[in-house]
A and B are shown apart, each in its own frame.
Chain A
């Protein structure tokens, strides 16, 4: 029993997928559209339905070796070829090589008179013939709903459509059917009731005068899929969908470290710089040298032989290159060697999603080790806080998944307060450097702090940040009773302290000499006293001797006297 169960599970493999080759769409759908089944793509006018369908077909023929049939009810063959060619697809070539059949179906209601019963066998025959001509595996019907306008009898039409989808399934072709978005339904004529396997909804919204396209997989029978709305972009090489929110927080991490390009900044980050693949936020007021730090970082990457992609939203590439030469950074050779690429765009050029999509595409194409966004705050103006945070999250997730180290500069306005968006954004960042201006004594000076650096012991000290002709250097700032001193006042303070130290030294020497003098005077005094003391002792001894002699003499005299007087006393005394 157990055995058969196992067997059954393995006998019914997961739904076979048909890769579209469209960036991101295959990730969302877990491999592509359901193979051998119809997929409905619906959306309003100008959403990119036809483009999605044609890219599916062209990529199928060009990349996956699956010929296709494009049956168009709206655009003529010529128009289609032209439209698709503008996206870099050689549809005409594929048609010539018999990889794709273009069939334009023309319906004009005014030319058609209806009398009695009919069916759409003609369409079937025609489609069948086209499929058989090239051995098509993929079919696009764009836009089938044109039939509703062209044919008066809806009852017949619906019955025939049902038959058509069944027929397509039996034929085993993977088909994409496009349809106009309806007001209350997904499609204007309720085509979704015939296509039950996969429904993709396209949408084009304008918010704050900026248009963004979205894609959503509404339904995908028998398969896991991302259900969110994903922004997508129509670029020079077709569609790209951004399947970013489908990623979890499970990217690999590296414990490798990379230099910032500024030795003393490395020193502040426990001596070895940032973690590879981490995200770094660099905030600062205008003119604090954010771009310069970023350029240093890029140069350091180039020195390691790694590529850097520099997204600039304020300056043109040439301007950055020129400006950086003034601080001794030669970026031009790096650009020529292909180690550095700039991508400059005005933030107002398009919506956030569009920017993000462009960035994704550039990153995927250039495969950099380091990505610099200068400044990220320019983009913030293009959307609301929540949107921006969402976008930055997706960008960081993507970069982390790719093990790309990212440096975002962020412009703060005025004073020391940090704006709300930055606080929101900082939680996404692994490291946060803060550049600040100090104004005083008629000059401005820059200082740098490491506000946070996840996973490493970092310096809590403020450093003065110097930009000179030779590049960037960090100097210890003076921290005195009157606060942090930088620039000229730091130099002045240093001089003052030097003078004070000198004066102190001299004073000490003087006092030392004086003490020495005092000591030697005392010593001399001690010597005098000691000799006095000694002479006293001598006298004492002499007196003692004198006294001894006198006593002895006295005794001797007295004895002599006694002997002379024959005194008994002495005798008696000596007898006893």
Chain B
């Protein structure tokens, strides 16, 4: 399923290729869901962003005050800081297709 989605030809890169993607993953402790989300994210980024990305993992248990800035409610939450506009994706990112749509890496169809 995952492989199929990645191999689909209708891949749109809406941003200039040289632009760096800044991603933030909010977690609360090393829960299975958080680990799952991180590994899913890593896979997706490797496949589609090809080194033009930076992932910042924020553990709210360590820095609770940071939850306010990005209006975090759900855990895990992935925030696309750059390129603008800000996008949020909640959940363990198991559905790669929806993650790609959420990140504007693929148009919703």
Contact = CB atoms under 8 A, between A and B. Distances in A.
Contacts of B28: 121-122, 124-125
A154 to B, nearest CB: 13
Interface in A115-136: 115-126, 128-129
Interface residues of A, number: 25
Interface string B45-82: 00000000000000011001101100111111100000
Contacts of B73: 105, 107, 120, 122-123, 126, 147, 150-151
Contacts of B102: 113, 115
A107 B77 CA distance: 13
Nearest to B90: A118
Contact of B93 (A103, A116, A126): A116
Contacts of B72: 122, 126
B15 interface: no
Contacts of B71: 105-107
A462 B55 CA distance: 97
Nearest to B96: A115
A129 B61 CA distance: 9
B33 A126 contact: no
B23 interface: no
Contacts of B65: 129
A108 to B, nearest CB: 9
Size category of the binding interface on chain B: 20 to 34
B101 interface: yes
Q: Which label, helix, strand, loop or mixed, suits the secondary structure of the A interface?
A: mixed
A208 interface: no
B39 interface: no
B24 interface: no
Interface in A273-321: none
A79 interface: no
Nearest to A122: B72
A118 B101 CA distance: 18
Contacts of B95: 115-116
Nearest to B89: A113
A151 B99 CA distance: 16
A151 B68 CA distance: 17
A115 B94 contact: yes
Contacts of A120: 73-75
Interface string B18-36: 0000000010100001000
A125 B67 contact: yes
Contacts of A147: 73
Contacts of B85: 111
22 contacts: A105-B73, A111-B88, A112-B89, A113-B88, A113-B90, A114-B91, A115-B89, A115-B98, A115-B99, A115-B102, A117-B33, A118-B74, A118-B90, A119-B75, A120-B74, A121-B28, A123-B74, A125-B28, A125-B61, A150-B73, A151-B73, A151-B74
Interface of B: 26, 28, 33, 37, 60-61, 64-65, 67-68, 71-77, 85-95, 98-99, 101-102
The 3 closest A-B pairs by CB, nearest first: A113-B102, A129-B64, A116-B94
